[in-house]
Amino acid sequence: MNAMNIRLGTRRSALATTQAGMVADQLRELGHVVEMVEITTVGDTSSVSLSSIGGTGVFAAAIRQGLLAGEIDIAVHSLKDLPVAPEPGLVIAAIPVREDARDALVARDGLTLGELPVGSVVGTGSPRRMAQLAALGLGLSVIDIRGNVDTRLSLVHNGSCDAVLLARAGLSRLGRLDAVTESLDPLQMLPAAGQGALAIECRADHPELIEALIPLDDPDTRACVIAERALLATLEAGCTAPVGALAEVVEGESGTELFLRAFAGSPDGTVQLRRSAVGPLADPERLGRELAAVLLQEGAADIIASENIQPDASRPDRSLSERAL
C-alpha cells in the first residue's frame, strides 16, 4: 500500500496524547506520515461530574466533529469513552491489542483494598466502581473526583483521599505502574466495557485509509469489546451506568470461545447482579445481547435507572474536582 499523510486527532491530556502517540508510531513504522492534531473537548474544560455533563461520551464528541468536518483523518479514543451507538458517517477501523483491563488501587502506605481501615476515603469518578465498592461491604467512604491521572494521584499524596481507583491501562501507558498498590481481580471489580482498549476511528467514506489501519486491528480484542458493548447497548446503559463487563478469549471443550462476565448494581451496594455466559468467538454480539437479556430479566433495568444517584449521598459536599484543588 502507498504511504499516506494522516492527521491524527487527540485530546490534549497526557494520557490521550500518549495513546495517540503509540498509534502514530505504529503507523509511521508502516511507512505513513502522521501529524498530531490536539483538540479540546467539553470533558476537558468542565469541572463538574461526568454524569451531569452527559457521561464520558463528552470526551469523544468534539473529536468526532473534527473527523466529520474533515479537519482530521483519524481519531484515537479510549474505547470505554465511546458511546455504544454508532456515529453516522464514522467507522471504528482498528482496535489494537488490549492493555490489561483491570482497575487499579493507589492507596496510602502501600495498602491493598482489603487492608484499608473502615471509614477510609476512596476517590473515583465512576458509578460502576462506586457500586462495586459498596457491594463489597468494606465500610469505605466513597467520594466523587475529577481530573487527570496526576491530579487523582495527588489526592492520595496530599491526604485528601486514602486511596483512588483508576484504570490500570492508563497508568501503564503513562509509565506510572509503580504507584499501584493493588490490581483488582475482576471477581472483586469488573472493569468498564472496553476498558484498556483503544479505538481508531475514521470516516466511513475513506476506504484507502480504512485499509491502511487494518494492520493495527487485533481480532481477539475486537471480539471481546464487541460482546461487552453489545451488552451495554442491550441494557441501554450509558457511560455513567453502574455496569461492568469483561470478555475474554478462552479455550473451551469445543475449542476457542468467548467468556463474558457482567455486573449491574445499585450505588449503595444493596442490589447487585453478577452473571456470566460463554459463546462462540465468531458471534460476540449475540453473546453480549443474550447475557444482557438475562440481566434484564433479573431487574437490571431498575438498577440502571438509578444511575444518577450521587456518591455518598449523606455527605453531598464531599466531592473533589480538578479545579477545586
Kindly tell me if the per-residue pLDDT of 313 is higher than 60. no
CA distances from 318 to 47, 136, 297, 311 (A): 14, 21, 35, 9
Residue 279: what are its φ and ψ, rounded to 5°? Answer: -150, 175
* pLDDT number for residue 40: 77
* pLDDT number for residue 267: 84
Rounded mean pLDDT of the chain?
Answer: 88
The catalytic residue among 25, 44, 73, 81 is 81
pTM, two decimals, is 0.87
* pLDDT number for residue 316: 32
Question: Among this protein's residues, is 81 annotated catalytic?
Answer: yes
* pLDDT number for residue 58: 63
Q: What cell does 171 get?
A: 497508568
87 contacts 64 by C-beta, under 8 angstroms = yes
d(CA 280, CA 7) in angstroms, rounded, equals 37
d(CA 243, CA 262) in angstroms, rounded, equals 7
**What is the arithmetic mean of pLDDT over 13-36?**
96
Taking only the tens place, the pLDDT of each residue in 207-264 is 999 999 999 999 999 999 999 999 999 998 876 789 999 999 999 888 999 999 999 9
Taking only the tens place, the pLDDT of each residue in 120-165 is 999 999 999 999 999 999 999 999 998 889 999 999 999 999 999 9
d(CA 211, CA 61) in angstroms, rounded, equals 24
Q: Which domains does the chain have, with CATH numbers?
A: 5-95+197-218 (3.40.190.10), 103-192 (3.40.190.10), 225-305 (3.30.160.40)
Collapsed DSSP state (helix, strand, coil) of residue 226 = helix
